[in-house]
Structure 1
């Protein structure tokens, strides 16, 4: 009997397997078989074979029906499973709410991925640009793909993750055509290592006629080795898959019915080549022959290194798609940078609207709207003023803003070193301004048949007002290229007068979750916004937006900081340092340790070694919970050797702070050391405030006992070029090779260590620390020092006399100084 039995219910058809036991009995017959028995046995065998074949066929048919539940019918003759509805549910598309030409159905993006990338690349894509599309996105993977990540995943039947993904690509195209062809204007095939700028993509597609057959991408013909091996004619191309391929609905519908045939006639191992061949054959169109597509759909040829370095590149700013981003963490980094560009663009649009509003109000004779917040009113008023170099009009001499000059070198009167190389911050600001200017110049270049390329900045001037704007005067060398009509290429020079208005300053302050926790490089802490609503010098106007109260959490003991202090003589200075150490660390109950590396004093100086040990022993008795150690080095002073000896007392996981005896510090300094020093990732180089000679800057005050907490440009300067004060973990010091103990005497060891850290690629964090102050002392430079050390010492000595304006005033008040200089050139 057939193992399947048909039972027909009143209103439908249902197949019900009915298991049966089949038994085949073969009898051994003695002698010859009779004709009747022979024919009967032969007929039974034929019936059995036919039954087996029919059973196999019917089983396969039922299995196929089970794989396609949407073809099964319920008792009411309605589908119990609608695959198209399930597809819409997966991508979150409501057919009743999203009509044609809306912001929700411009494009459907299909992202090809694999099971091993679902938790990394696919997740990163969906959490960044995937949710900002003017349409919908889905990830297409193998039939057996499994993930716990909440992404719109479509498992393609009969498809695996083998490479090249030709079948996956074609079946994805067919799936998009079968389920979404009537609901979207454009369809995009993308990889999981591409970044797409949704706002630029929408702007581009709105300019393209979606009713015509379109096959948009970066045209390719293969690399040099593949030419002639891809079965392409001289006038044929394909759209490179990496940067993304876009089809209009018309193109998709022309190709989709022939997917199976295209798969049966593959002529290369490249998926994008075969898709292009299929489109060319059935839609009758090639990939867009446009050189401009290389910049619109951008592919970086650096492989795994692409987009891992600086992101301030012309290609990043103007492209719609960026490919490849192999490390999914870099996708988040790129997304944050792009979001920052969008914020800047929105701010520029806001300034433009405010100025338009101000013009309309002025022409109508109406006042600007009154705001309750006096700062906001000032903010609106100064943004509403057109860019002009006369925006700020000083009323007294002290309010005059000076211009700093820059070319290959920078000249800044307010700097401790007036002539120096342009700083990284200055270069970054200039590059940002130049890039924006060139974008404005070339905004309509295509319509005019010309383009202007930037070559270099010849020279310029810059000044800034703390609350109003940055102002630039820049002389640029440009290259004018005309490619329509009479073609020409001509170098030109142009002056640009530019103003960057300043709004409210927002500072993000990260909250440390626990000092014993090691922060991951990509970890983002909860932050509190600090809004500066006035001049930066008026700290009383700082307003904190306090976050909601949280339940109390157990307080963990802060990370121990190991102070390592080199010392040679100078006992009086050491006493002042220990007074700070006692006040901040010992009395404050800080989790610290002190290691003093003491050298014998220089010739002619008093040997105070016993005094140092006695002072440390006395404090140790009063504060036994804080370990304090004195190491004696019976040799002449060498800072590199001192720091290396101090570090030898620490373990790999210990946080070390290399400090000098001339420093004063505050409790907040210790917090910043713990916050900014991250094991295995980041070293903290604080920028300390260095005092000028108090004889020049603190006249009328007690020079011996003045207040070291005063910080302004008259009493000192930020020592941005100093690298001697640093905090790091012992493991990072070992990684870079430690200090060069062959460097003797003053200076050089800090720069050497800094260069080692840079070469190892360890993250460096630099910031001004108002709690770290270098107390003034006279610098005596030994002429026996190595030449570079002697020059560094002399530079430090000269920079500590006083501020440039104070020295000028002193010279003007004492003409005998110039007289002496003239007499002794």
Structure 2
């Protein structure tokens, strides 16, 4: 039947001339093959469904673990196993060995992505505070990680350096001990490992760029070849030795041989002998067309030798120079190579500018299409009127309309330094172009704006004195001819975005919320405590509240406590949440004077551990889990403190027309603002606070707050940023004259900005004026009506006889 249908199809195809004679046998064979395979499949004993079930489970597990390539193709196809016929004990895991499976915290760890360069510095007790410090200052901020190794314990340990001590008395085995330590601790974390003596100088930035271009799949043994051991060349440690992770993993299997056979007095020979025993790859100065050029010097004296060395191309292109006689020579050489890099960068920039100008003539628009400065993106083009970037007008002393809340402000701090710097740069460029004939007189106009595509742009109108025009003392008007005006344009371009490495922190740290409470804060106490209790019900032990009650006068025995209701509420939540609310009472008989923040924190700091995380709060802020997680992540012990900028609500009876006011804070420009002058909310670790507190006397701390204390301390990064999850209800600010002048002025400024927007305040003023005018008009009308009534009453009483006045009564009445 099927053959008959095929013949009919072929006959039809012949009629339409679509099949050739050579195609007919192939088509017939294909159809017969499909028919026979379908007839044979039901009778096959070794079908696809039963193949896996007949295999040995232990053999299958072994093949799976070894990822054997000899497995038949059918094993890679998805199938359903016959669970009843398989021994389930073969698939059980050892619960003692692996009770729980932990996933890595980062995808890079799970994928096996390693960091780039690890540097091990071989130093000694005598050179740790000289040569090693010089290497650390010139190398550590360019590479991923640096560790120093010494042979004996040093009496003075330099701060900020990771030091490992091998105090075993075998100085010649120090390279082998370093290899053991690096393999054990960091053997799988980096792509390349550099071993260097502290007597060598290395241009670390160039070395890092070089290894970044090398493939991680290559076996690399780079350095400065020194001598021959067993017919093979090894590297000198003073010049630096770079090996790949693949070679380091091979060394691990031969560490015992290295410890038994490397006993030469030369550390470089012992290190090279160990590497050469493991691999046949000798020390090379080139890998993948990348050259590691080392320049050896003898009896190096920078002041005498630099004149002859700087004209040598090999010296200027070298990546390492060794050995260094002292740390001063190390610093001087580093400064020289920084100048070489700076000149090279300037030369490259100029070449790129010339190339851009040359190529622009072939582009649409020609050279006129090239924006200034050359190589900097063109200015931002606003899409609508709301995207227009505002120019800020400034003089040498003041800046106008810097934001929506200020009309004029005095130039201080970094703003003043910025204006002075651009004026200085303008004069240098003008005199460079006009043969030093101008003297700066004064700034006529100044404008600046921040362009997100270009950077900070400036327009300056300068009044200059032209010294090329002769001055005639007898004619005063000639002096005015010497004053000319010049307009200059400047741009501070945005640099390359750099990722700052930060220590890893978790979101499980316990937060101790410190809450100072005064009498004026009693209205919002219930809302804050209820909000906190709801958060602690989920957080548990990771959250605690420390309340500080501040009294103006000490209560006498038998007198009522003004905080009785507050303390009863805190005790209720304390019992409910099993000790989560801790109360610390601080009594200040200050009679309303200013209480500095450090006094409050000193009383709390003594009761907490050094590793406690402190978060300063105020009544009125809305706590939420996301905000607390940001606090945990952005506060790093020994590294960073966090001061968020929150969204503060305006005064409700001004921004809203009628009651009832909304219970929640509406997030908009008409209901609140980000208060950049608020510094009372901050998070830091107790150990960091104690360290920053030590060098400052109480007289100094009275003049500024805790934020300023951390800034002046200078050893911690103060991270301050806008926090969208931080919202705060309106709070009446009480500015006490007993505080320092700076704090009082800042408080007054905050108070004026915390009421409402300008339009809202103006509207209220107009409403008040209209109401006052209406009252005044109504009062005048009432007075006129009262006057008419009195006149009518007097006219009615004209015929009534008048009683003569009694003088005595009048006097008494007076």
- Shorter-chain TM-score tier: 0.3 to 0.5
TM-score by length of 1: 0.46
Max Rg structure: 2
Structure showing the higher helix proportion among its residues: 2
TM-score by length of 2: 0.47
